[in-house]
Chains A and B, each alone.
Chain A
Amino acid sequence: MNRIADRIVNLYSSKNRRWITQLLLLLPALALMGIVYLGGLLIFGRYSFDIYENGKLIRGWEWDAYRAFLSDPYYWKLIGTTFRVAFKVTLWSLLLAYPLAYCIAGLKKPGMKQLLLLLTFLPLLVSAVVRSYGWQLLLSKQGFMNWLFIRLGITDEGFSMIYNETGVVVALVHIFLPFMVFPILNVLSQSDVSLKAAAQDLGAGSWRTFLTITLPLSARGIASGVQIVFTLCLTAFTTPQLIGGGRVMTLPVFIYQRTLDTNWPMAAVASMFLLVSSIIVSLLVNKGAELLMFRRSRKGGQAYG
C-alpha cells in the first residue's frame, strides 16, 4: 500500500508537476468541449451517412444524402435564397452603418456621442425574438409601415411586406446593424487624425480626403464587419423563421424543419454545407480585404514615389 502511495507522490515530483498541473487546469474545459461539443457534433455528423426512407432512418455508410443535396435543383434554390438574403443584408447594413459610424466618430459633444452609441447598441440587448415581433407589427398588412405608405400616397392598398424576403431582409438588417457599426467605428476612431489634417494641408478637398485617406484606412473595419454580418446571416434562424413564416426558406429554417420530421441525414448534410460555406466566406473576405489594401498601397507608391 505504502509503495503505491509513494509512487503517486513520486509521480507528482517537480519534474512532472508542470504537466500534471497543466492537465488539471485543462481537464474541465476538455471534458465539456470533448463530450458535449465534439461528441454531439460527431454523433450528429454520423447521421449524414444514414438513409432516410418513408419516414424511417436506416443505419449505413452511404453518400445518398450528400448526393441528393448536391444534385437536386430544389436545394440549390435554397442555397441561392440563403446567400441572396445574406448578401442583401450585408450590403444594406454597410450602407447604413458606415455613415452612422462616421458620424459617431466625428461628433465632438460627448453627450450626443453617448446618446447615438446607446441607440446603436441598445437593440443588441433585446432578444432577437422580441425584435422580430416588433418588425412583424411594423410590416404587417395593417401595421405602421403600410399606414404610413397609404398616408403618403405611395400606395392605395398597402404592400405585403411580411412572410416574404423583403420583410426578412429589413428585420435582419436591424438585428445585425450593430455588428457592422462597431468594427468600423473602432478603426475610424483609432485612425490617425494627423493624416487627415496633412491631406487637407496639401490642398485635398473633404471628398478627396475621405476617398484617399479615411476610406482605405477603414478597409480593415469594413472587412471584419462584412465577415461578421455575412456569416451571422447565413446561419440566422429565428428571424427568417418568424418573419418568413415558413415561406422564406433559408438553410437554417430548412435544417430545423428536417429535424422536426426526423430526416436527420438531410439536416446533417445541410448543416455541414452551411458550416463549410460560412468558413469559406470568412476566409475569402479576409483575403479580399488584404489584396485590396496591398494593391492600394502599391499603386500609391508608384504614383507618388
Chain B
Amino acid sequence: MVKSNRLTKLLLYIFAGVVAVYLLLPLLMILLTSVGSGSASKFPPEGLTLKWYANLGEQTQFLVAFKNSLIASTGAVLLALITGTLAALAIVHHPFPGAGILRAFFVSPMVMPKITLGIAYLILFSKMHIAGGLFALILGEAVIVLPFVLTLVGSALANLQPAHREAAADLGAGPLRIFFTITLPQLRLSLLLSGSIAFVFTFDQVEAALLLLRQDSYTLPIQLFLYMEKWQDPTIAVVSVVLIAFALALFMIIKLVLRSVPGLESLFGGRKNKRRTGS
C-alpha cells in the first residue's frame, strides 16, 4: 500500500517535471537561437556569437516600437483605472436599479473576440479620423482592460468596512474627503494588482492593434508579428530575449512593490501560510 503510494507520487513528480520542461522549452530555444551564429533557425546551432545583440542597436524600429508600447499601455491602464474605479464606486457603494446589467455590460469585453474588437476599432476610428495613431489604441485598449479593474476594484470595494466611512462622515468629512482619505488608501492593493495585470495584458495585445496602427506607431508585439511574417532571422530571437527580460523585471518590480507597501506584507504572508498548512 505504502509502496504503491510512493510510486504514484514519484510518477506524479516526474510528470510535473516534464510539463515544466515543456513550458520552458520555447523560451530556452529562443535564448539559444539568439546566441547562435547561423542565420537560419537550425538545431544544433553551428557556433556561439553575440553579433545579433550588437546588431540590435541598428534596429531602431524595435526601439521606437518599444517606446510606443510603453506609451500605449500606460495610457490605456491609467484611463481604465480612473473610469473603472469611478464606475465601481457608483455600482458597488450606491447600487441602483439596473446596476447589475450595467456591470455585465462593462465586463463584457472579456468575452468579445479580440479580433472582432480590432476590426470594430479600425472602422470606428477611421470614421472619427483618428485611426493609425496611439491615441486611438489607448481608447481601444482601455475598453479591453476595464473588466480587470472593475472586477478587482469592485470586489475590494464590496469588502471594505462601511463603519470607517460612516465614522468619517460623522466627524464631518465630505464625500470627496472620505474618498481620498478613507476609501482610496484601502483600495491601493487592488488598484496596483489590477493595474499591473492590465499593463501586462495590453503590452502584449496584437489583435486590437494590428489593423489599427500605422507604421510609425507600431507597438512591439505588432512590429515583431509583422517582422516574423516576412523574415526569419535571429534578430527576432534577440528582441524576444529582451522582451522576456523586461517581463521578468516587471514581475520582480511588482513583487517588490507589493512587499514594500505597508500593511500588504501581512496580507500576503497570511495567504501563503494558509496555503502551506492547507496542503
Contacts and interface: CB of A to CB of B under 8 A. Distances in A.
A binds B: yes
Interface string B102-135: 1001100101111111011111110100000000
B83 to A, nearest CB: 4
A82 to B, nearest CB: 11
Chain A: interface secondary structure?
helix
B257 interface: no
Contact of A102 (B12, B115, B123): B12
B98 to A, nearest CB: 11
B80 to A, nearest CB: 9
Contacts of B29: 134, 137-138, 143-144
B92 to A, nearest CB: 11
A138 B25 contact: yes
B123 A279 contact: no
Interface in B175-216: 175, 200, 203-204, 206-207, 210-211
Contacts of A106: 12, 279
B276 to A, nearest CB: 6
A193 B143 contact: no
Contacts of B20: 100, 116, 119-120
B116 A44 contact: yes
Interface residues of B, number: 88
Contacts of A125: 200, 247-248, 250-251
Contacts of B13: 103
B224 A40 contact: no
Interface residues of A, number: 82
Interface in A29-56: 29-30, 32-33, 36-37, 39-41, 43-44, 47
B79 A32 contact: yes
Interface string A267-299: 110010011001100100000000000000000
Contacts of B8: 206
B77 interface: no
Contact of B116 (A96, A104, A147, A274): A274
A142 B40 contact: yes
A43 B82 CA distance: 27
B26 interface: yes
Chain B: interface secondary structure?
helix
B23 A122 contact: yes
Given A125-B200, A130-B30, A22 B90 contact: yes
Nearest to B69: A127
Interface string B14-48: 01100110111111011001000000111110000
A179 B137 CA distance: 26
A128 B206 contact: yes
B113 A43 contact: no
Interface of B: 1, 4-5, 8, 12-13, 15-16, 19-20, 22-27, 29-30, 33, 40-44, 79, 82-84, 86-87, 89-91, 94, 96, 102, 105-106, 109, 111-117, 119-125, 127, 139-140, 142-143, 146, 175, 200, 203-204, 206-207, 210-211, 220-221, 224-225, 228-229, 232, 236-237, 240, 243-244, 247-248, 250-251, 272, 275-276, 278-279
12 contacts: A22-B96, A29-B87, A32-B139, A41-B112, A44-B116, A103-B15, A130-B30, A146-B43, A174-B26, A189-B275, A237-B206, A238-B225
| Nearest 9 A/B pairs, CB to CB | A134-B26, A40-B120, A29-B87, A25-B90, A235-B113, A40-B124, A125-B247, A44-B120, A271-B116
